[in-house]
Amino acid sequence: MYTTQMDAARKGIITDEMRTVARKEGVSAEKIRELVACGRVVIPANRNHKGLDPAGIGEGLRTKINVNIGISRDCRNFDIELEKARTAIDLKTDSIMDLSSYGKTHEFRKKLIEMSPVMIGTVPVYDVTGFYNKELDKISADEFFNVVEQHAKDGVDFMTVHAGINRETARRFKQNQRLTNIVSRGGALLFAWMELTGRENPFYEQFDRLLEICEKYDVTISLGDALRPGSINDSTDAAQIHELIVLGELTRRAWERNVQVMIEGPGHMAMNEIAPNVVLEKRLCHGAPFYVLGPLVTDIAPGYDHITAAIGGAIAASCGADFLCYVTPAEHLRLPDINDMKEGIIAARIAAHAADIAKGISGAREWDYKMSEARRNLDWNCMFELALDPEKPRRYRENSIPENDDTCTMCGNMCAVKNMNRILKGENIDIL
């Protein structure tokens, strides 16, 4: 018998989930077992998530992406958010995080888990005030943990828990002034709770209690970066690094209980700081998988932050980050609609795939080679089938039909590909 995927791996047991991940990644099941055993790969798979098609996150595996959805006070339509989830699954997201913070969150979460074959994550602290209908300073430590256990019981595969922002980390934050303070929603809530109550963060103070819940249901902990930078001015500062050190210590404690761990990473950061931050995380957190939001490499592009995030995500993943949280054009502006979500997914998948090419992930380059062959052959249908998003290039082609089928309306008979194919065959070309 085993309690978690890590427990099984350390006992030499190859689980069905490990076999599934091995098949998807094109590596041996024994290799997956070894990586799970040492914490460098996680397989978030709550035993109560019955319809899950497991995936692995971590060293040597394809870079995964996450999509955020959820109901809020201003946007509480279940049907819209569930439609987003279905669309995200169709667009091949690897994970969905339910960030619901208002209303019938339990009902929504249950529906989402029942219909989703991809892993589901949550941030339980978002749910606490609505669950108890209490102001933040009236919530007890027990009530925080009750919500965590409810999420675990419902079948959530991984949870973001901001256990690294303790009173000492908060002191360092206050002593080192930032331009944008704390931008993590969960981090800000727990910082405010500590300030209002004068007490220690319950997730840090009673970390063993959290581990007990995660071990019971095999929930992967995603240790949240409460002090992630919210602007390029604030990146890699004393508070961020101090929290990362704490997260490394908590990682070892979790592994002692056979609880799987991911580490969440910075949000806004200049490009030249990304690679050193990945090295720091891998070093200080003992090779645990790294889950990053972006990073957004500039702060001046509201409405286009899916692009700023994709640039940072590609760099981070090429340097060793394992999991990218998508960012949409609506970031910082509103709850994304389904079109925003699609743009965010495609941008994140491009970033992940570009990084996989650089990391030498099996099959990544071959996909590109097949596309290049289709382009050389001017095989438009094959190009569409290979495209990451087949619908958009097909629509572009249909909206601007060329005179000759073997060209496009940009180059026409001056098409370099067409003319090179003919010249190399010894044929004549007809430009005019």
Q: Where are the domains of the chain?
A: 44-359, 375-424
| Alpha-carbon gap, residue 305 to 336, rounded angstroms | 12
Long-range contacts, stretch 106-112, CB < 8 angstroms, 24+ apart: 106/131, 106/150, 106/154, 107/78, 108/70, 108/71, 108/78, 108/81, 108/82, 109/151, 109/154, 109/156, 110/154, 111/78, 111/82, 112/69, 112/82, 112/85
Is 225 one of the annotated binding-site residues? yes
Give me the residues of the chain with pLDDT under 70, please. Answer: none
As assigned by CATH, the class of the 44-359 domain is alpha beta
Residue 1: what pLDDT? 87
227 is in an annotated binding site: yes
Query: Is 326 known to sit in a ligand binding site?
Result: no
Q: Is 186 annotated as a binding residue?
A: yes
Cα angle 178, 182, 183; round to 5? 120
- Was 416 annotated as part of a binding site? no
- Whether 151 has a binding-site annotation, put simply, is no
* 291 labeled part of a ligand binding site: yes
388 Cβ neighbours under 8 A, 6+ residues apart = 346, 349, 350, 353
Distance CA 117, CA 119 (A): 7
Sorted by sequence, the CB contacts under 8 Å of residue 54 that are 6+ apart come out as 17, 20, 21, 43, 44, 45, 119
Ligand-binding annotation for 185, yes or no, is: yes
pLDDT of residue 71: 87
424 assigned ligand-binding residue: no
Structure tokens at 115: 């219909």
CB 66 within 8 A of CB 97: yes
Structure tokens at 101: 């913070």
Contact (Cβ atoms closer than 8 angstroms) between residue 303 and residue 324:
no
What pLDDT score does 431 carry?
81
Is 415 assigned a ligand-binding role in the annotation? yes
| Ligand-binding site membership of 75 (annotated) | no
332 is in an annotated binding site: yes
Q: Residue 75 has what pLDDT?
A: 77
Residue 285 is assigned to a ligand binding site: no
